[in-house]
Structure formats: structure tokens, C-alpha cells
Structure 1
Amino acid sequence: MTGYADDLALAHRLADAADAISMARFGALDLRVESKPDLTPVSDADTAVEREIRALLAEQRPDDGLLGEEYGATAATGARQWVVDPIDGTKNFVRGVPIWATLIALLEQGRPVAGVVSAPALGRRWWAARGTGAYAGPDATRGEAIRVSGVRELADASLCYSSLGGWEEAGLLEPVLQLMRDTWRSRAYGDFYGYMLLAEGALDVMIEPELSLWDVAALVPIVTEAGGTCTDLAGRPAPAGAETSAVASNSLLHSDILDRLARPAAR
């Protein structure tokens, strides 16, 4: 592995440090949870994980920029930026649901080139860098190559989506409901997990109407290196800005999904 090998190795070390902190706080009786200004929850595990990752990156990559969900952005001297979601799935984390993960991405010129997704409560990690393929396993030393499915027909596809309330707010509830009717199976696994199941070939489409850069940056290299496609609702490569939407698929179904989710005014 060349190109981003050192960066990916560092991302794994960051994930190891994050896992040690988050697992120690998962299910803790003294876990502290507060509400952010947007009324989403943040736990002491979220902030502790991000502080540790920031400290390690300041030591290992002092010239790189950093954007984290909890503490914002630090400037870079070049075109490289790390993007971190310390715990994606905080609502699951605080309720004892094991589907949550630390997301770590490296961007160059604003495009994701490497990503690690670590879900220690599931005993699972996913990673990829540009041109290397995508992998999953218990840790960095025990990974196996993963690949999206070969499903070609929507009637045979397994669809994953975020909350229906979000699609209703986006004015696209009916197209999503029709997608659910037209696909073989539909489930709302939520957050990072649907994208990783897509990359493994366990499902075929994942859609989300609104998310932030730190929610998606680490997912894109894994999905695309596994042979999938990830765009916003307009078909632009994801992430398409600090706030974006996401349509991820096994590539074979992508055009059909985008057509079905096109806003009425754009048809």
C-alpha cells in the first residue's frame, strides 16, 4: 500500500485511542449528557474522544487542519484537513445501543482520500484510502477486502434510509415511501452503519437527506473504494459542502435512485 499508507496507519492509531476512551464510558452510570444548541445530545465521551484525537494530530500532523464536530476547525498550512466525528450515533451511545462509531477522515483539496470507521461495541472496523480498496475486520491487522453487491434491479434491492421525519422535512417523504414499496426490503439502520453495510454488500442503497461534513467524510472513501457511488441528491460527488445530503449505492442502481428522488421542481 502506497500513497496514504502512513496517514491510514495514523488514522488507525487515532481510532485505537478513541475506542479505549469510548468503550470505557459506554454504559457508564456516571456518563454525563448535555444538549447542544441544536438540541442534539453530546456526552462526556464525545468531548473526551475529540480532545484526545486533537492532541495526537497536533503532535503527529501539526501542519494539517482539523475539523471536529465538538470543537470546530483549526487552520492548516496546506491543503490537508482531518475531519472527525468522535461518536457518530450519540443517541444510540447514551441509550446503550451498540451501533455507534468514531469517524476519521483525511481530506485533500476538500475531497476525502482516506477514512476509518471504528465501531468497538460491534467489534468491527472499516477503512480505505484512495486506490487501495476497502477493508473491514476486528482491527487493522485482521482486515479483509469488502465489495458492494451486484444487484441490478430495484425490485431485488435492500434499501436503507435515515428517519422518515427528516425526509418529510426535506419535502421528499412520498418519493422515499415509494422507494420502500418498490424495493425488496427496507430498513432504517441509521448513521454510519447503513453505509458500511452497503460497502460490505449486505444492502444496496443508503439515503440520507441532511448531514454534516463530519458525518459523511470518512464514509465516502470506504463506499467508493468498495466499488460504490456516493453523491448528494443532485448527483454531485459527496460531500458537496459543509451541510449536504447523501445517496450511496452499489453504483448499478444509482441513476435510478437519483431519478426517483429528484425534487418535483427539478423534474
Structure 2
Amino acid sequence: MDKNDIFETAALMADAARLRTMPLFRSAGLTPDNKLSDGFDPVTEADRESERAMRAILAERRPDDAILGEEFGMSDGSTGLTWVLDPIDGTRAFISGAPSWGTLIGLTDDAGPVYGIIDQPFTGERFEGGLGRARVLTAAGERPLGVRRGVGLAQATLLSTFPEIGTAEERAAFERVAAQVRLTRYGLDCYGYALLALGQVDLVIEAGLHAYDIVAPIAVVEAAGGIVTDWQGGPAHRGGRVIAAATRELHAEALEFLRGDRVADAPALD
């Protein structure tokens, strides 16, 4: 694995995606399409053009790698490496003018994620993790990523994108954890995982994810010292129900409530 070529290729893809997304962000002429006949799952020309641009770079620089992208699906490869692309994670935020969306660029081998970028073009932040890197790049320069340590569940800050989480069962599981933490916030999409890697929050819990939603965040969070699994403690890179935590101790404590192994203590009777 040529790490320098991977770093350079990923940076070129993130730059190319920025050039396609930023002209349309907060643009009066942006009109989303709906992927669903029942419900609302928006997609914009910015999503499509960004993924096309990233795929074109891979076709030129790494044509033998596989690609899994949200908008254009799977392209087979022969190297054992797969680039997992979400051109705009948080399209609902994008069309609302909220800066919590980002471009996700992940790389997996047979064992799972090895490298990832969470890129936020509007704020100019690029979170990068894996293959020996754990950093955020901004206009002010570079700083290392690192999760917050020494925080128990009662002092933790918990994030999730959607208040409804998923099914009624999933919502109930999430609420068992949310009832134990100090603060719960919603709606940050991939930026929540970036904040976890930056040491600003402690937990992210979500359900209904796809591989392209989570491969890059896993690489970034784990490079920063965190842990990401499914709700049973197994691998999460294929999507579904995901819990990301700053430390193994916090992860284990939250997982007990999430799985229903532990419930809140009943209030003492007078």
C-alpha cells in the first residue's frame, strides 16, 4: 500500500468535491430531487457532480481500486482496496444552508476501514485519520486529533443526526442512553464524528446507516483514539446501528444501556 499516493489521491478528491459543492451551497438556484416515492430523501446536482469528479480522479490515479459511492454504486477492482465515497453526507443540511454536511472519503481493505477524510468545505476543516495520520487541517494550520478521556456516561455529551433515530425499538434503546448523559444534541450528520475525534463530544449513536455514511468516520475516530462498533460491539463499517465513543470504558458503559443489559435505577421511595 503506497501511503503517500493514497494521501495525495484523497486530498485531490476532497479538493475536487469542494469545487463542486461550494458554488451550490446556499445557492438560490439549488433544486433538490427526491430519491423516494414515499418520503423524502434529497439529492442534488452537487452530490452527483462531486462523486463524478472523485471517480474521475480515481480512474486516472488508481484505476484498479474498487469504488462504492452513494450516487453511482459499486465499481469492482482487483487490489483488495475499496474507496467508499459520500459526496455530501447531510444533503438535508446542505439544502437547508446548515454547515453540518461534509464530504466523506474512506478506504477499506478486507478487514475494514484503514483511512478516511471528513471534509467540511464551508468551514474549511479537513479531518483526516488512518495510516499513521490523525489531524485536522484548517486555514490556521494543522493540529492533531485526539478524543476526550476521563469522561463517564453521566458527564458525557451525546450526538445523533435524527431525533427519531430509527424504529420505535431503536428510539427506545437510544433514549435509555440519552437519559444517562449530561447533554444530547441532534442534527450534525458526519460533523458529529469529527467533533468526537476533536475531543469536543463523547458519544455518537445512530441507526439506519449505509457503508458510505460510516467508513470514513470510523477511520477518523479510531485514528484519534476512539472506538466505533455496531450496537452489539461488532464491526460497524457495513452500516446499520452504530455507536462511536471516545474511550472503551465509556463505550462499554453506554452499550449496557443501549442493549438493555442495564436500565436506570428506580428512584428511592421516601
User: Structure 2 length as normaliser, TM-score?
Assistant: 0.90
Q: Counterpart of 1:27 in 2: which secondary structure?
A: coil
Q: CA deviation at 1:170?
A: 5.0
State the alpha-carbon separation in 2 of the partners of residues 83 and 62 from structure 1: 14
**Residue 249 of structure 1 pairs with residue 250 of structure 2:** no
Q: CA deviation at 1:89?
A: 0.7
Letter in 2 for 1:134: A
Q: Counterpart of 2:197 in 1: which secondary structure?
A: helix
State the alpha-carbon separation in 1 of the partners of residues 53 and 161 from structure 2: 29
Q: Is the 8 A contact 1:224 1:230 kept in 2?
A: yes
Aligned length: 258
**Residue 162 of structure 1 pairs with residue 161 of structure 2:** yes
Letter in 2 for 1:222: V
Structure 1, unmatched stretches of 5+, are none
State the alpha-carbon separation in 1 of the partners of residues 33 and 100 from structure 2: 20
State the alpha-carbon separation in 2 of the partners of residues 97 and 248 from structure 1: 23
Overall identity of the aligned pairs, in %:
34
Higher alpha-carbon deviation: 99-108 or 157-166: 157-166
**Residue 61 of structure 1 pairs with residue 62 of structure 2:** yes
Q: CA-to-partner distance for each residue in 1:187-212, whole Å, 9 max, x for gaps?
A: 11431011111111101111001200
State the alpha-carbon separation in 1 of the partners of residues 219 and 177 from structure 2: 26
Q: Counterpart of 2:225 in 1: which secondary structure?
A: coil
What's the counterpart of residue 28 of structure 1? 27
What's the counterpart of residue 186 of structure 1? 184
Q: Is the 8 A contact 1:161 1:187 kept in 2?
A: yes
What's the counterpart of residue 261 of structure 1? 258
What's the counterpart of residue 207 of structure 2? 209
Q: CA-to-partner distance for each residue in 1:31-64, whole Å, 9 max, x for gaps?
A: 2310113730000100000111111110110000
What's the counterpart of residue 142 of structure 1? 141
Write the mapping of 1:96-175 to structure 2, written as runs, cut at 5 A: 96-109=97-110, 111-130=112-131, 132-138=132-138, 142-167=141-166, 169=167, 171-175=169-173
Q: Is the 8 A contact 2:9 2:57 kept in 1?
A: no
Higher helix share: 1
State the alpha-carbon separation in 2 of the partners of residues 12 and 170 from structure 1: 40
Compared CA separation, residues 77 and 195, structure 1 to 2 (3 A):
same
What's the counterpart of residue 264 of structure 2? none
Compared CA separation, residues 119 and 21, structure 1 to 2 (3 A):
same
Please tell me the root mean square deviation across aligned C-alpha atoms, in Å.
1.8
Q: CA deviation at 1:180?
A: 2.1
Q: Counterpart of 1:143 in 2: which secondary structure?
A: strand
User: Structure 1 length as normaliser, TM-score?
Assistant: 0.91
Poorly superposed stretches of 4+, deviation over 4 Å:
none
Write the mapping of 1:196-235 to structure 2, written as runs, cut at 5 A: 196-235=194-233
State the alpha-carbon separation in 2 of the partners of residues 151 and 133 from structure 1: 23
Letter in 1 for 2:207: P
What's the counterpart of residue 74 of structure 2? 73
State the alpha-carbon separation in 1 of the partners of residues 242 and 18 from structure 2: 26
Q: Counterpart of 1:52 in 2: which secondary structure?
A: helix
Letter in 2 for 1:229: I
Letter in 2 for 1:173: R
Q: Counterpart of 1:202 in 2: which secondary structure?
A: coil
Q: CA-to-partner distance for each residue in 1:11-44, whole Å, 9 max, x for gaps?
A: 0111011101100111222223101137300001
Q: Is the 8 A contact 1:85 1:214 kept in 2?
A: yes
State the alpha-carbon separation in 1 of the partners of residues 211 and 26 from structure 2: 28
Q: CA deviation at 1:164?
A: 2.6
